[in-house]
């Protein structure tokens, strides 16, 4: 009888422990069981970290081959320090080409409450179309030693087919003008020759 009660008690305790492991602890910290890194804003201990990511291109429509500047800002809107911040900007793929700055994983150190960190890089496209820049990933550790990851900043922009350079356009204009002048002179010369021949016959 007692053995059955003990087994029942142990089973209940195991179920309670399992449920507690699945629920977020006080403060809203939620650990991702797959990556081991929470995917929401840290909010535990005596303070909380709240990172806001913005990523904006210098223009939303550009010509193929034209340089576009991307500005990334990460602001800590919380009241605790985000420590050991790592910013991972996705590498450009397909027709997108990096022409200045840096992408990939970059260490930014600590971000204090109210502080904003800014980074920029330049890119272009070799083909026209609608192109996507994926999310920026920001990893950090809060003051309690918990690790977190925040995503944000994905956008799409359009690259249009490149037009002929101004020099090439001026060259075409010049060729067209020379051609028109040459044809005009040729017509005048031919008409003059016909008039001379007619006058010679009459004489």
Locate tokens 């029942």: which residue? 8
Question: Is residue 47 included in any domain, yes or no?
Answer: yes
How far apart, in whole angstroms, are the C-alpha atoms of residue 32 and residue 152? 18
User: What local confidence, expressed as pLDDT, does residue 3 receive?
Assistant: 54
Is position 34 within any domain? yes
Residue pLDDT, tens place only, 128-180? 999 999 999 999 999 889 999 999 999 999 999 987 555 555 565 565 565 65
Q: Is the pLDDT of residue 197 over 90?
A: no
Nearest-angstrom CA–CA distance, 78 and 88: 21
Asked if residue 85 has pLDDT above 70, the reply is yes
In a domain, 10, yes or no: no
The pLDDT value recorded for residue 47 is: 78
Domain with 42 in it: what CATH number?
Answer: 2.60.40.10
- pLDDT score, position 27: 33
In a domain, 134, yes or no: yes
Decide if 120 is inside a domain: yes
Residue 78 burial class via C-beta count within 10 angstroms: exposed 0-12, middle 13-18, buried 19 and up: buried
pLDDT over threshold 60, residue 23:
no
Does 73 fall in a domain? yes
- Domain-located, residue 127: yes
The mean per-residue pLDDT over the stretch 69-98 comes to 95
User: In the chain, pLDDT over 70 holds for what percent of residues?
Assistant: 58
**pTM for the model:** 0.60
What is the total count of domains within the chain? 1
- Domain for residue 189, yes or no? no
Q: Is the confidence at residue 199, as pLDDT, over 80? A: no
Q: Is the pLDDT of residue 79 over 90?
A: yes
Q: Domain range for residue 109? A: 22-160
pLDDT beyond 50 at 44: no
Name the nearest CA neighbour of 62 among 133, 142, 161. 161
Give pLDDT, residue 99: 96
Which one of 33-47, 104-118, 152-166, 169-183 scores highest in mean pLDDT? 104-118
Give the pair of three-digit tokens for residue 77.
């809107």
């Amino acid at each position: 009888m007692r053995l059955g009660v003990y087994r029942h008690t142990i089973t209940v305790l195991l179920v309670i422990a399992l449920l507690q492991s699945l629920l977020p602890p006080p403060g809203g910290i939620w650990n991702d069981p797959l990556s081991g890194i929470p995917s929401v804003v840290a909010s535990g201990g005596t303070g909380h970290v709240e990172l806001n990511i913005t990523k904006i291109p210098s223009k939303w429509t550009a010509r193929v081959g034209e340089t576009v500047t991307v500005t990334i800002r990460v602001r800590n809107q919380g009241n605790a320090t985000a420590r050991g911040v790592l910013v991972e900007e996705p590498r450009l793929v397909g027709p997108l080409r990096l022409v200045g700055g840096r992408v990939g994983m970059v260490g930014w150190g600590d971000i204090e409450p109210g502080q904003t960190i800014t980074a920029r890089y330049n890119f272009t496209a070799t083909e026209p179309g609608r192109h996507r820049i994926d999310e920026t990933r920001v990893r950090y550790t809060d003051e309690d030693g918990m690790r977190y990851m925040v995503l944000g900043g994905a956008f799409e922009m359009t690259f249009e087919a490149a037009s002929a350079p101004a020099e090439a356009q001026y060259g075409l204009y010049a060729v067209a003008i020379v051609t028109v002048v040459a044809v005009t002179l040729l017509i005048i010369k031919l008409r003059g020759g016909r008039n001379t021949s007619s006058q010679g016959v009459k004489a």
